[in-house]
Amino acid sequence: MTTVLDVQRFKDEGRRFAMLTAYDYLSAQILDEAGIPILLVGDSLGMVVLGYPTTLPVTLDEMIHHAKAVARGSRQALLVGDMPFMSYHASTEQAITSAGRFLQEGGMHAVKVEGGGLTALGIPVMGHLGLTPQFVHQMGGFKVQGKSEAQAARILADAKDLEQAGAFSIVLEGVPNSLAARVTKALRIPTIGIGAGPGTDGQVLVLHDMLGMTTGKAPKFVKRYANLAEEIDRAARQFASEVGSGSFPAPEHTYSANGAAPASKEAKDEVKYGTS
């Protein structure tokens, strides 16, 4: 199983690595079998799965619910739970309780915080700097951060502080590629970029963006490796059409009343997963 020590080894060996978001059992199972070393149960699920306009309405209970599903589907990946807005802002005690729930109830191995802390308590923490969605209103929208020298200096200083505080890695989001490369070079711990150029140690994308399941214009940093939204649309339309025409279900999709054995191994498998 991938651990935080493996992530550090990736950087030490100059090995670039991938991280993807996962929000449910099935996607976690598929990504785990594909060998993705880190799965992030991101608070982006609020926008991607739950339909919120931003990540701000996502609750800790919602995050734990999805974390538990991901933990059931993964066997090898390092699992990181995203601490949602107002789950760690009020006090250190609140942060400890929230992070503890991710590990104890959610089955996570680490948490991600827009900032840092908690490492002294034995809770592995992934930091997050740059375009931090929980501060979207303070930033005036989803805008690239670190474009001015003052902003860049602050992000670099914050990254060093996070490393000093014990973070095992840092996500750099929505920053110029030159700044991301500069931060990466200055740190011993690994950086993971999203909209931060190729100079980071690893890269992360939202699964649904990567698979082309989200609609509309994608952010500049997203590469769609598939176009599943179109494929799902095509399949759904074909299903509805065949139901309407009566061509589905066909004889090979039905059971006989005489108790005859299914005609194939596939049919036997269908019986196992059927409702009758």
- If phi > 0 it is left, if psi is from -120 to 50 it is alpha, else beta; for residue 153 that is alpha
Q: Are 131 and 139 in contact (CB under 8 A)?
A: yes
**Is-catalytic flag, 173?**
yes
DSSP state of 218: P
Q: Are 28 and 67 in contact (CB under 8 A)?
A: no
Please pick, among 173, 230, 231, 270, the residue that the annotation labels catalytic: 173
DSSP state of 261: P
Q: Which residues of 122-159 are buried (b: 16+ CB within 10 A; e: fewer)?
A: ebbbbbbbbbbbbebeeeeeeebbbeeeebbeebbebb
Question: Residue 190: which of 34, 80, 60, 88 has the closest Cα?
Answer: 80
Token pair belonging to 16: 């670039």
Supply the DSSP string of 100-117, one letter for each residue: HHHHHTS--SEEEESS--
* Radius of gyration for the alpha carbons in the chain, expressed in angstroms and rounded: 22
Helix, strand or coil, per DSSP, at residue 135: helix
The catalytic site residues sit at: 173
